[in-house]
Structure 1
Amino acid sequence: MDRRNFIAGLTALGASGLATAGHAQGADELARIDAYLNAMRSAQGTFVQFNSDGSSSQGEYWIKKPGLMKFEYADPHPHVIVADGTWVAVVDRASNDEPHQYPISQTPLNLILRDRIDLLNSGAVQRVVKSGSRTTLMAVDPNERDTGSLELVFDENPLALREWVTINPQGQRTTVRLNSMQQNVELPRRMFSIQAEARR
């Protein structure tokens, strides 16, 4: 499992000005996706991560807006990725080292974990591509185009976030596929504590 690529993808993008998705059809799609993401206040389920070297791992995830997220990997991987509203941290439960932390405001998680989402005006989205029963948003920081890119993939009928793909500057792709999702569930704030995860 490549946690570095997962986090590198998260930190590759900022949330600055809109690129090229401002045409009418793209704007309509972004408005529809905004409405879906804003209606989702929390979610939990299972995921599979596919790495560029062909390896994979799996686990459970929890999301609560604004700003909270946890991805817990199943054995034999002792890692947890936690966002506490300010920071995103990688916790290695098999190590006594301090967690690696990154400001959530400097990751694309800020686009989907903020209290109110406005993809059309928040920046980063370059293209909206519809293919069969899927819609894909392609995003890159317009001020840092060499740092990597992000794809958000949604199923249609009904609209549902299905996966995201991070592509680093070397072209390596890391895909996180959400296998299941239960929305608007009650999740306690304390489960998103970086300090608590580091002590476990």
Structure 2
Amino acid sequence: MYPMERRIFIAGLTALGASGLATAGHAQGAEELARIDAYLNAMRSAQGTFVQYNSDGSTSEGEYWIKKPGLMKFEYAQPHPHIIVADGVWVAVIDRSSNDAPQQYPIRSTPLNLILRDETDLLASGVVRRITRSDGRTTIMASDDEEDGSLEMVFDDNPIALRQWVTINPQGQRTTIELTSMEQNVELPRRMFSIQAAARLR
């Protein structure tokens, strides 16, 4: 069984699809989404550090690597034993303290697909529900079915940069991933996103 914060994070991963009808179609919203699309499409890879803030007040941290299309790795620092790997088809949760097989989810059924796809088009994806701007940041709320939860993506405005995302489960519990550092468009070998290789390191 995963710790509560890990279960909430994974529940958020599986909460969203990409088949809803966008409600941010007015001119200003469409312009903002186009700006964010351009930023995400220019970001072909990234690496850095993150802090995870859980609904119970606890925190965890680690390192992440992203390579488009479809590749991602989040490695939690000890004492948290988990690694989350996306290999382009599946998102796997690996528990380094267990010999159990990784739990896997199709990446196309997770909100990660919005960030990791080769070309991002948030307006056409149909999941954007609300756009808000405050204190130099833009927040996008996305949800395919509000009964399953929702996702927030937070961007700095000037210069534009992805700073965090928040998964919100149907009970209103929030799990925040804050990207505390980011280096973009770096060389990352595809083999580092192998689920099988990561599982063998336990």
TM over 0.5: yes
Moved segments of 4+, more than 4 Å: none
Shift of 1:117: 0.5
Please identify, of 121-130 and 42-51, the stretch whose mean Cα deviation from structure 2 is larger: 121-130
Once the two structures are superposed, the pairs formed by residues 77-156 of structure 1 within 5 Å of their partners are 77-141=80-144, 144-156=145-157
Shift of 1:27: 0.2
- For residues 136-182 of structure 1, the C-alpha deviation after alignment (integer angstroms, 9 at most, x for no partner) is 000110xx220000000001110000000000001000000000000
- For residues 46-79 of structure 1, the C-alpha deviation after alignment (integer angstroms, 9 at most, x for no partner) is 0000000110000000000000000000011111
- Indicate the residue corresponding to 1:179 in structure 2: 180
- Indicate the residue corresponding to 1:56 in structure 2: 59
Contact 2:22 2:124 in 1 (8 A): no
Please identify, of 185-194 and 18-27, the stretch whose mean Cα deviation from structure 2 is larger: 18-27
- For residues 85-135 of structure 1, the C-alpha deviation after alignment (integer angstroms, 9 at most, x for no partner) is 000010001110000100000001011100011001012101110112100
C-alpha separation in 2, matches of 1:118 and 1:101: 26
C-alpha separation in 1, matches of 2:114 and 2:179: 18
Aligned residue-pair number: 198
Q: 1:17 aligns with which of 16, 20, 40?
A: 20
TM-score, structure 2 as length reference: 0.96
C-alpha separation in 2, matches of 1:80 and 1:70: 7
Contact 1:17 1:121 in 2 (8 A): no
Structure 1 unaligned segments of length 5 or more: list them.
none
Structure 2 unaligned segments of length 5 or more: list them.
none
Shift of 1:17: 2.9
Question: CA RMSD of the aligned region, Å?
Answer: 0.8
C-alpha separation in 2, matches of 1:31 and 1:150: 19
Contact 1:44 1:182 in 2 (8 A): yes
C-alpha separation in 2, matches of 1:69 and 1:99: 15
